Structure 1
Amino acid sequence: MVYIILGFNFPESRLVLKTVQHFYGIGPQVARHLLARLHIHPTARLSSLNSQTVLDITAELSSMKIENELRRELRVNITRLRDMGTYRGRRHAMGMPVRGQRTRTQTATAAKFNRVERLG
């Protein structure tokens, strides 16, 4: 059987913890807190949950800021920094490290993660 949570299909053999972490904006710590709040064991699988528990997980996730809503907020924040002309905004615009990392030799990771649509 396939479980559908917020439009995503998950197989029944998948761990509930990993299923919740699949969503953008939910890491290991938030996932553990969510499962603890719903009284679900971290090693539980989707097949062991009843339909009401799956609905509870869906309700909790829908109340959180995840996926596209979170991505949109991050994009707006970066755009705001760029428009104000702050140091961080300029570093984002150039695709360079924003938080004081070394630039002499290690800029590949920053260039990968600071990719934003470049305006002019």
Structure 2
Amino acid sequence: MPFISNINFTEGTLVKRSLETFFGIGPKVSQSIMARFHIQPWAKVGSLKASTLLDLTAELSNMKIENDLRREIQDSIIRLKDMGSYRGRRHAMGLPVRGQRTRTQIATARKLNRTLRGGDGRLGM
């Protein structure tokens, strides 16, 4: 089984799909990484050479993905809360932060915010 950045992938998995499993890598970023290393969109992880896998791992180690990115996002939210900004207060209350409608569709937003942050949605942490 091939490894990309210390994660096992089956040999039949598409390279694009395997890159998108990492937190912080979406379709456009995975497409640009594949273009940089001249990998076809329909290529499978099992068909890649060992040197290409090492190059992909090196590229991913230079990027801010997974836990580093999650930690940065949490730090940004905590910074907003400490400043007492509007966005920070909305995060603390578990309400939509980016101007979404709250008159009728607040239940879903509260539910999503609660699961995203891991808190209970109240003002204090």
Interval containing the TM-score (normalised by the shorter chain): over 0.9
Q: TM-score, normalised by structure 1?
A: 0.93
Deviation of 1:109 after TM superposition, in Å, equals 3.5
State the Cα distance separating 1:25 from its structure 2 match. 0.2
Task: State how far apart, in whole Å, the 2-side matches of 1:18 and 1:80 are.
Answer: 34
Q: Where do 5+ consecutive residues of structure 2 fail to align? A: none
Larger CA deviation: 96-105 vs 108-117: 108-117
Establish whether residue 23 from structure 1 lines up as the match of residue 22 from structure 2.
yes
Hey, what does 2:34 align to over in structure 1?
35
1:106, distance to aligned residue in structure 2 (A): 1.4
Pairwise CA RMSD of aligned residues?
1.3
- What is the match of residue 2 of structure 2? 3
Shift of 1:110: 2.2
Work out which structure has the larger RCO, using CA pairs closer than 8 Å and 6 or more positions apart in sequence. Answer: 2
Match of 2:13 in 1: 14
For 1:1-120, list aligned pairs within 5 A: 2-115=1-114, 116=117, 117=119, 119-120=124-125
> How far off its partner does 1:112 sit?
3.3
Equivalents in 2 of 1:99, 1:70: separation in Å? 20
Aligned-partner SS, 2:8: strand
**1:95 deviation in Å?**
0.5
How high is the TM-score relative to the length of structure 2? Answer: 0.89
Aligned pairs, how many? 119
Using the alignment, how far apart are the partners of 1:88 and 1:107 within structure 2?
16
Per the alignment, in what secondary structure is the counterpart of residue 9 of structure 2?
Answer: strand
Q: Distance in 1 between matches of 2:91 and 2:44?
A: 40
Query: For residues 74 and 7 of structure 1, what CA distance do their matches in structure 2 show?
Result: 23
Deviation at 1:97, TM superposition (A): 0.3
Q: Distance in 2 between matches of 1:113 and 1:27?
A: 20
Q: Matches of 1:85 and 1:72 in 2, distance apart?
A: 20
**1:22 & 1:72 partners in 2: Cα distance?**
18
Unaligned runs of 5+ in 1: none
SS of corresponding position for 1:56: helix
